[in-house]
């Protein structure tokens, strides 16, 4: 032990390595087939981590007062597994330790849940020839006593590998000295990063949003505990499919999912009835069942479309959001709103359909054009502008780093914005409070949707339209005497500094105030033909204003450069 509390770890460049804070208080559990070396590696790993070591099989024999072969012979495998479950739960409930488990222990759902809650699991994955060499001639393995070892191991690999793949860390183990394998296991353990999670708690359902880099490769392991069936239909678009679909499909396959990809054209043109019909027809033709899941891999368009498909098919299929744009990660993937566009406006057909989980892999954001990243940032800043002035101040301080793809700042921004939305949605799941609650999330959206409809969906990005809309909402509030004009200019200046079109003049298009107001009258929040807008008393203090005079809106638009 070094003076700073780090552990001296032989075999890894002879360097002092401090344990990551996320490992504090957690046990380490080794899983894998017989012959994987769980006991020999576990003892060495425990010594290097300064933790006690326990072997689950030895603890079971101690508790039962007889050997494992005797337990199998007297009571059968069923009773052995029940005792194994109790022993592992007892061990994990105590102080942190390194635990080697029997080959079948991780197959038990209750045991997996206990390990997932209290420990970091490591799968020691070996190929069949290596395992055969290691178990040859051993008579204390009940499953090998009356059958050909190669056949038994091949069968167990087919049965168990998809479940072992749910482990937090996977290490390939060759026929090498145990110290060499231990060093690689330790290196992988120290590199492990648990996804950051927030819980969306609603009256109808509770689900997690997982945020972190590299989560596509872990998607199968994350989803296996929360989906009712290992059958999935992945809806994505052509652009995202080329970038991220192989990683997601490989992860699903590794954990035993049967996955089918359904690919649509990119952009807003896919968010229409014809694509909705195409996807629902494909699902039914493929024999989708009510326990089969729909996974949305992509941005907000894919999430809205796939979610509506999941909501409508068989009156509701399990649904997962795997957002790959910043806008979708912080906004559209959380809250359960789904929908498609019509010639009458945006998102006028849809349903509330909550996901079973949201997996936000921040590494996918590295593939985004700068314009897309900026558009997503508008929704992050919006969270602070609605109800958290301190968070907006954080945005002002960190926007440059976030838009420069600083990994830590990006993850923090995604998590904080998603957490804000989760809190709002939790208080008003189905937007039933017209004067507050979830409706406040529409700050800037009525103006923004009008701009999208006028300019053409896809011509202006949704986040860009929202940024312009927020600027208009603040300036209208100032014109109506609701907030200080300096607050409005501060917001507009911040969006401009972030490269967003906070003023209509930045759109480089001739716009009609009359036509924009007409689009706004068709907004879903309109009541009896009267404009309802989200306005502000200042930064962090948004509210719903009914019956906003259309004439005042038109005056503002003309002042911003629109034609009459």
Q: Which of 230, 244, 421, 519 is catalytic?
A: 421
Q: Cα–Cα distance between 226 and 255 in angstroms, integer? A: 13
Summarize pLDDT for 54-82 with one digit per residue, the tens.
Answer: 999 999 999 999 998 889 889 998 899 99
Q: Cα–Cα distance between 210 and 217 in angstroms, integer? A: 13
- Say which residue, 526 or 212, is predicted with more confidence: 212
326 band by pLDDT with thresholds 50, 70 and 90: very high
Q: Cα–Cα distance between 560 and 488 in angstroms, integer? A: 14
**Whole-number pLDDT of residue 142:** 65
Active site residue 344: no
Active site residue 38: no
For 247, residues 6+ apart whose C-beta sits below 8 A from its C-beta are 216, 217
Tell me if 384 sits within 8 A of 539, measured CB to CB: yes
Q: Cα–Cα distance between 58 and 225 in angstroms, integer? A: 29
Active site residue 140: no
Confidence check: pLDDT of 6 > 50: no
Q: Which of 48, 271, 445, 475 is catalytic?
A: 445
Q: CA dist 507 to 468, 490, 493, 521, Å? A: 9, 20, 16, 22
Sign of the dihedral through C-alpha 343, 348, 351, 357: positive
- Say which residue, 520 or 25, is predicted with more confidence: 520
**Whole-number pLDDT of residue 139:** 53
Summarize pLDDT for 443-462 with one digit per residue, the tens.
Answer: 999 999 999 989 987 789 98
Mean predicted lDDT score pLDDT of the chain: 92
Domains and CATH numbers, the chain: 7-191 (3.40.50.300), 196-368 (3.40.50.1970), 421-559 (1.20.1090.10)
Active site residue 438: yes
Tell me if 279 sits within 8 A of 338, measured CB to CB: no
Q: Which of 462, 475, 494, 525 is catalytic?
A: 462
468 band by pLDDT with thresholds 50, 70 and 90: very high
404 band by pLDDT with thresholds 50, 70 and 90: very high
First to last CA, the chain: 76
Q: Cα–Cα distance between 182 and 176 in angstroms, integer? A: 10
**Whole-number pLDDT of residue 369:** 93
pTM given for the model: 0.89
**Whole-number pLDDT of residue 137:** 65
Summarize pLDDT for 278-320 with one digit per residue, the tens.
Answer: 999 999 999 999 999 999 999 999 999 999 999 999 999 999 9
Confidence check: pLDDT of 173 > 70: yes
Active site residue 555: no
Q: Which of 382, 449, 475, 519 is catalytic?
A: 449
Summarize pLDDT for 349-379 with one digit per residue, the tens.
Answer: 999 999 999 999 999 999 999 999 999 999 9
Confidence check: pLDDT of 429 > 60: yes
Which DSSP category does 530 fall into?
B
Active site residue 431: yes
5 band by pLDDT with thresholds 50, 70 and 90: very low
Q: Which of 244, 416, 429, 442 is catalytic?
A: 442
Mean pLDDT across 36-50: 95
Active site residue 524: no
Active site residue 315: yes
Let me know the angle formed at the C-alpha of 123 by 121 and 124, rounded to the nearest 5 degrees: 135
Phi/psi of residue 431, nearest 5 degrees = 55, 50
Strand partners, 8: 16
DSSP alpha helix (H) spans, 93-174: 109-118, 128-135, 149-164
Tell me if 17 sits within 8 A of 190, measured CB to CB: yes
Q: Which of 315, 343, 432, 508 is catalytic?
A: 315
**Whole-number pLDDT of residue 415:** 96
**Whole-number pLDDT of residue 8:** 42
1 band by pLDDT with thresholds 50, 70 and 90: very low
Phi/psi of residue 416, nearest 5 degrees = -70, -40
Q: CA dist 207 to 197, 262, 521, Å? A: 10, 25, 35
**Whole-number pLDDT of residue 13:** 39
For 221, residues 6+ apart whose C-beta sits below 8 A from its C-beta are 165, 166, 167, 168, 251, 255
**Whole-number pLDDT of residue 22:** 74
Q: Which of 218, 337, 356, 494 is catalytic?
A: 337
Confidence check: pLDDT of 96 > 50: yes
**Whole-number pLDDT of residue 553:** 97
Summarize pLDDT for 212-270 with one digit per residue, the tens.
Answer: 999 999 999 999 999 999 999 999 999 999 999 999 999 999 999 999 999 999 998 99
Active site residue 374: no
Summarize pLDDT for 482-503 with one digit per residue, the tens.
Answer: 999 999 999 999 999 999 998 8
Active site residue 445: yes
- Say which residue, 24 or 170, is predicted with more confidence: 170
Confidence check: pLDDT of 144 > 60: yes
């Amino acid at each position: 032990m070094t003076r700073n509390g780090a552990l001296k770890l032989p075999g890894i460049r002879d360097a002092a390595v401090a344990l990551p804070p996320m490992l504090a208080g957690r046990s380490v559990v080794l899983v894998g087939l017989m012959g994987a070396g769980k006991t020999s590696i576990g003892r060495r790993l425990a010594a290097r981590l300064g933790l006690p070591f326990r072997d689950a099989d030895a603890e079971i024999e101690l508790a039962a007062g007889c050997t494992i072969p005797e337990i199998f012979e007297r009571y059968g495998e069923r009773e052995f597994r029940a005792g194994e479950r109790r022993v592992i739960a007892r061990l994990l409930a105590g102080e942190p330790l390194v635990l080697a488990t029997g080959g079948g222990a991780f197959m038990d759902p209750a045991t997996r849940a206990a390990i997932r809650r209290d420990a970091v699991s490591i799968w020691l994955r070996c190929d069949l020839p290596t395992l055969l060499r290691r178990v040859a001639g051993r008579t204390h393995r009940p499953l090998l006593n009356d059958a050909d070892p190669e056949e038994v191991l091949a069968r167990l690999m087919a049965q168990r590998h998809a479940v072992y793949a749910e482990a937090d860390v996977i290490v390939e183990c060759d026929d090498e000295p145990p110290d060499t394998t231990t060093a690689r296991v330790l290196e992988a353990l120290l590199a492990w990063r648990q996804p950051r999670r927030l819980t969306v708690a609603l009256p109808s359902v509770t689900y997690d949003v997982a945020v972190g880099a590299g989560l596509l490769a872990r998607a199968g392991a994350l989803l296996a505990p929360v989906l009712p069936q290992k059958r999935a239909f992945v809806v994505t678009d052509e652009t995202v499919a080329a970038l991220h679909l192989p990683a997601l499909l490989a992860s699903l396959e590794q954990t035993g999912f049967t996955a089918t990809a359904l690919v649509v054209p990119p952009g807003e043109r896919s968010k229409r009835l014809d694509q909705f019909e195409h996807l629902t027809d494909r699902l039914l033709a493929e024999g989708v069942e009510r326990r089969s899941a729909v996974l949305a891999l992509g941005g907000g368009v894919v999430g809205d479309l796939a979610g509506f498909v999941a909501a409508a098919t068989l009156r509701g299929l399990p649904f997962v959001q795997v957002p790959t744009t910043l806008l979708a990660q912080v906004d559209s993937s959380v809250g359960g709103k789904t929908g498609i566009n019509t010639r009458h406006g945006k998102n006028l057909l849809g349903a509330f359909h909550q996901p079973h989980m949201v997996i936000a892999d921040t590494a996918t954001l590295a593939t985004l054009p700068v314009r897309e990243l900026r558009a997503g940032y508008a929704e992050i800043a919006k969270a602070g502008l609605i109800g958290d002035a301190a968070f907006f101040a954080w945005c002002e301080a960190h926007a440059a780093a976030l838009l420069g793809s600083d990994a830590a700042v990006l993850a923090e921004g995604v998590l904080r914005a998603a957490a804000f939305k989760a809190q709002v949605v939790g208080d008003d799941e189905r937007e039933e409070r017209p004067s507050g609650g979830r409706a406040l999330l529409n700050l800037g959206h009525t103006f923004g949707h009008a701009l999208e409809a006028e300019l053409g969906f896809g011509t202006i990005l949704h986040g860009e339209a929202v940024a312009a809309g927020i600027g208009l909402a603040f300036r209208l509030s100032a014109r109506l005497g609701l907030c200080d004009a300096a607050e409005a200019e501060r917001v507009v200046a911040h969006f401009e500094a972030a490269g967003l079109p906070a003023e209509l003049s930045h759109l480089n298009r001739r716009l009609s105030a009359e036509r924009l107001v007409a689009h706004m009258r068709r907004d879903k929040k309109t009541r009896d033909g009267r404009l309802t807008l989200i306005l502000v008393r200042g930064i962090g203090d948004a509210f719903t204003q009914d019956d906003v005079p259309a004439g005042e809106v038109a005056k503002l638009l003309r002042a911003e450069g629109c034609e009459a």
